[in-house]
Amino acid sequence: MDLNIKYLGLTDYKSCWASMKIHIEKNPKSDEIWVTEHNPIYTTGLNKRESKLPKSSIPHLFVDRGGKITFHGPGQIIFYFLISLERNRLSIRQLVSGIEDSILLFLKKRKVVGELKKNAPGVYIDQKKIASIGLRVKKGFTYHGVSLNVNMNLKPFLDIDPCGYEDLKMAQLNEYLPEIDQREIVKEVLEQFKNKFRSLNEK
């Protein structure tokens, strides 16, 4: 899989979401990862059942990814996967597992122990969630992706049940890697994504 990487900087969530949908409608010939951060916003995915909506001045938006409610803000790196599953002979489960494995390998190289939880997608450290995954498939293409907490304000998570789990604690990388530069994180995580999906294509 040849991946084109687009660095978008700080973006408005709603505009970025609209851009992803427009991109997919064009039946793109290349696979892309968009790297961004968002202005503060809560989003709730397609699984709205029993979601606890925040009483907050922070905007909230219902969106079309999988999963329940989460928070996005500056200091959280988001990797959006605009991938053709058919062209790459991947299932959505393989893609999710590949994303999780890549983040686990990044953490391991940095001597941080990450873990997975059964029936709770994402990556955890010390039982606290550090990476959340929510995807959508349309016309054989994926969009949305994974958010990685790096150096952000975690307080807005206290006003929700993150990803629908009551009392779920959130973590971020600066608690474990205080000296690491955000640009290094992006570079190293992207390298793991590329290696992982290259190996999946070869199977």
Strand boundaries in the chain, DSSP class E: 3-11, 31-38, 41-44, 60-62, 69-72, 76-82, 115-117, 120-125, 128-138, 141-149
* 15 in Cβ contact with 42 (< 8 Å): no
Which residue in the list 24, 78, 163, 189 is annotated as catalytic? 163
Residue 151 has φ and ψ, to the nearest 5°, of -155, 75
Q: How many CB atoms lie within 10 A of CB 18?
A: 11
Token digits of residue 170: 């959130």
Mark whether 16 is an active-site residue.
Answer: no
Q: Which residues are catalytic?
A: 163
